[in-house]
């Protein structure tokens, strides 16, 4: 192990406990440590989120997009682990989903058969894996009482578009065929994901309708739905709030390749939507570059006659799905998302 790797390992061991201790302080103390409130576009950033961002800057934690690819992927998992903590779950087991790795989360006292959500992780189609989103999936499954089958799709630049898109659709087809073996009720299958995973989930929902596959619900957490990204939120929040313009540009360059940014398989904003699509719960964050495109997609679903509920958490940033082990506000938001998932598949 090199000196740098040893320093990184030590930093990782310190980072999680430090975050938990600092973000466990009373809100008034956190406010002193965080500094003056950040207000933008009529929204005030959550104090614990502002403090988290400040601590990252003080620790000189650089974004995954600034690192060599392998280091960026390792950093993604490391950061998520520090923010996600250790989350209780009834049972977890690895499940090959066709030719892709998968992980099945079974909540405590989950009925058999019961509802199941096929989940695709975020990470700009370049970063992220089953480990980076493990804590968030554990939390969502246990709080909702819904089984979650997380699927690890191929990443760019090694496998550009449409690799992830095709993997996601194949994974859902496989799930439908093997629902009973997973302990799932075939009439209560859902699909979901965050960021790039939200993009894949939305694509799966569209394809499921075309193929006549059963799908009861889609959970889209700050989904990437328009790769053109000509929005006010992309201009307002592309620096200083975790998800940066450099990260998004890297994702586009690595994954999109020569494909048109308006290809409807890539950008659902340009897809023809069927009113028979599964009901959707679309979640956005106020301080997120992807906020406006996610909300525009929710309106597009509604205009097409699809049952949809849009929820903006105005004080949150992109990535709050993973922040369930430290602080209070992101965890509370994910608790609300879990309650919606539970109600939708009850």
Gap between the Cα atoms of 84 and 78, Å rounded: 10
Selecting among 132, 195, 233, 267, the annotated active-site residue is 195
**286 close to 316: Cβ distance less than 8 angstroms:** yes
Whether 133 is catalytic is: no
One DSSP character per residue, 215-261 reads --EEEEES----TT--SHHHHHSSSSSSS-HHHHHHHIIIIITTS-T
Gap between the Cα atoms of 127 and 74, Å rounded: 9
**227 close to 256: Cβ distance less than 8 angstroms:** yes
Contacts of 236 (CB under 8 A, 6+ apart): 40, 41, 289
Selecting among 121, 133, 165, 318, the annotated active-site residue is 318
Whether 48 is catalytic is: no
Gap between the Cα atoms of 307 and 275, Å rounded: 8
Whether 129 is catalytic is: no
Token code pair at residue 302: 């509604």
Gap between the Cα atoms of 200 and 220, Å rounded: 9
Token code pair at residue 342: 């539970």
Gap between the Cα atoms of 271 and 121, Å rounded: 22
Nearest to 311 by CA among 343, 269, 273, 274: 343
Selecting among 288, 292, 315, 330, the annotated active-site residue is 288
Q: Strand ranges (DSSP E) for the chain?
A: 39-40, 43-44, 91-94, 102-106, 114-120, 147-151, 184-194, 217-221, 280-287, 308-317
Q: Which residues are catalytic?
A: 195, 288, 318
């Amino acid at each position: 192990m090199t000196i740098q790797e040893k320093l990184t390992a030590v930093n990782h061991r310190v980072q999680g406990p430090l975050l938990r201790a600092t973000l466990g302080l009373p809100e008034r103390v956190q406010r002193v440590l965080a500094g003056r409130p950040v207000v933008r576009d009529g929204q005030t950033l959550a104090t614990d989120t502002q403090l988290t961002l400040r601590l990252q800057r003080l620790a000189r934690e650089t974004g995954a997009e600034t690192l060599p690819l392998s280091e960026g992927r390792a950093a993604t998992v490391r950061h998520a682990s520090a923010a996600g903590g250790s989350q209780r779950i009834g049972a977890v087991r690895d499940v090959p989903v066709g030719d892709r790795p998968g992980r099945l989360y079974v909540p405590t006292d989950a009925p058999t058969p019961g509802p199941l959500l096929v989940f695709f992780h975020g990470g700009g189609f370049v970063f992220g894996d089953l480990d980076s989103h493990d804590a968030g999936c554990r939390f969502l499954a246990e709080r909702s009482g819904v089984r979650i089958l997380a699927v690890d799709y191929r990443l760019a630049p090694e496998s550009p578009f449409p690799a992830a898109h095709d993997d996601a659709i194949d994974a859902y087809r496989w799930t439908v065929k093997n629902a009973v073996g997973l302990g799932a009720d075939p009439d209560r299958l859902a699909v979901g994901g965050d960021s790039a995973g939200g993009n894949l989930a939305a694509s799966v929902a569209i394809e499921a309708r075309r193929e006549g596959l059963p799908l009861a619900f889609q959970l889209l957490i700050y989904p990437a739905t328009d790769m053109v990204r000509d929005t006010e939120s992309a201009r307002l929040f592309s620096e200083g709030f975790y998800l940066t313009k450099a990260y998004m540009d890297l994702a586009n360059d690595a994954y999109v390749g020569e494909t048109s940014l308006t290809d409807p398989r890539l950008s659902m904003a340009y897809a023809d939507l069927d009113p028979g699509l599964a009901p959707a719960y679309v979640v956005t964050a106020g301080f997120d570059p992807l906020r406006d495109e996610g909300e525009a997609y929710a309106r597009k679903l509604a205009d097409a006659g699809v049952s949809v509920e849009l929820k903006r958490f105005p004080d949150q940033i992109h990535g709050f799905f993973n922040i369930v082990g430290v602080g209070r506000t992101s965890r509370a938001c994910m608790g609300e998302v879990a309650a919606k998932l539970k109600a939708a598949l009850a």
